[in-house]
Amino acid sequence: MKALLVRDIKLAFRAGGGFGLGLAFFLIVTVLVPFSVGPQQALLGSIAPGVLWLGALLACLLSLDRLLALDFEDGTLDLLVTSPLPLEGAVSVKALAHWITTGLPLVLAAPVLGVLLNLPPAGFGWLVASLALGTPALSVIGTFGAALTVGIKRGGLLLSLLVLPLYVPTLIFGAEAARRGALGLDPATPLLMLAGITFATVGLMPFASAAVLRMGLR
């Protein structure tokens, strides 16, 4: 599994679909928002948690269509299905590699971009905590969507349509936790809900993804 993880991380950097693309999109969204809503600092500060969370969600979505497609094209996916390694474990490793190359950089960059949106100082820690807790769910759910659309030519749009509704609960509770933290309110409830979503997806989605891949590759 360690070798598979290292391989996927290297491929993500070489293909250009992970670290750089996600961060660039995240930065573009953050920079464009003040141009669209105006330079009012109070308004920017109030919408900053939601904007940053939405930008992170869409940035994670960008590289999902390449998550399993490259392995399907070169035959690696067929080898994984027939190898002694449990397919659920292989899918989990791919989701982890996606989070390391896409989700983790977004978590680290969020406080810097929060300054551009005049995020209140009290909200920086809670923003990072909510993203660190919620972005793994985005990668795991995205892996399930990639498994559903693997082998479909130009399935990127279909993947987005399938995955975005599943992302909504994570977005709601993640943005709410960051918003409450920025306002000095107690963010415990949305953080607990976010943790529940993440743990449930991490525990269940790999089995669903593996089952979908087995059916799709028969």
CB 49 within 8 A of CB 179: yes
Q: What mean pLDDT value characterizes the chain?
A: 87
Residues 6+ apart with CB under 8 A from 45: 117, 118, 119, 120, 182
Tokens of 154: 């130009």
Spatial distance between the Cα atoms of 170 and 185, rounded to a whole number of angstroms:
19
| Per-residue pLDDT reduced to its tens digit, 114-150 | 998 989 999 999 999 999 999 999 999 999 998 888 8
Q: How confident is the model at residue 22 (pLDDT cuts 50, 70, 90)?
A: confident
Pick from 135, 173, 143, 133: nearest CA to 58: 135
Q: pTM for this one? A: 0.90
Model confidence at 17: pLDDT above 70: no
By C-alpha distance, which of 142, 101, 119 is closest to 44?
A: 119
The per-residue pLDDT for range 202-215, each reduced to its tens digit, is 999 999 998 888 88
Confidence (pLDDT) at 182: 92
Q: What is the per-residue pLDDT for 86?
A: 87
From residue 2, give the alpha-carbon distance in Å to each of 17, 108, 128, 189: 21, 24, 27, 35
The helix, strand and coil proportions of the chain, stated in percent and rounded to the nearest 5, come to: 85, 0, 15
pLDDT of 183 > 60? The answer is: yes
Per-residue model confidence (pLDDT) at position 155: 65
pLDDT exceeds 60 at position 26: yes
Residue 16's pLDDT is what?
53
The pLDDT, as a whole number, for residue 124 is: 94
